[in-house]
Amino acid sequence: DAGVIQSPRHEVTEMGQEVTLRCKPISGHNSLFWYRQTMMRGLELLIYFNNNVPIDDSGMPEDRFSAKMPNASFSTLKIQPSEPRDSAVYFCASSLVSPLYEQYFGPGTRLTVT
């Protein structure tokens, strides 16, 4: 299995630009999670989906962030407009709901907003 796939691996953009991060979960997994990791705040859950439906988006920082999961094999996290404080590593993870809740993480996207 290829594991969770994320693209791009690195993104450098200017403040105000739109950024789209992509994720392909492990085949057969029915839950997908978006996290953000920074030195100051650690690893924080932004949003998660179960069977393509958003379940908990309480971690999405503000309206500039949006996430979609149009089908079981693809999800996007969009930031529009981007700001320097959005600079972080963004991880996507997937899991099977039952019986375990182990989440498998992708390699992450390192986003730098200048």
**Tokens describing residue 16:** 């105000």
- The b-or-e profile of 47-56 (16+ CB within 10 A means b, else e) is bbbeebeeee
Rounded Cα–Cα distance for residues 102 and 112 (Å): 29
Q: Does 34 bind other proteins (CB under 8 A)?
A: no
One residue of 2, 28, 42, 53 binding other proteins per CB under 8 A: 42
One residue of 34, 77, 103, 113 binding other proteins per CB under 8 A: 103
Shortest distance, position 108 Cβ to other proteins, whole Å: 6
Q: Does 100 bind other proteins (CB under 8 A)?
A: yes
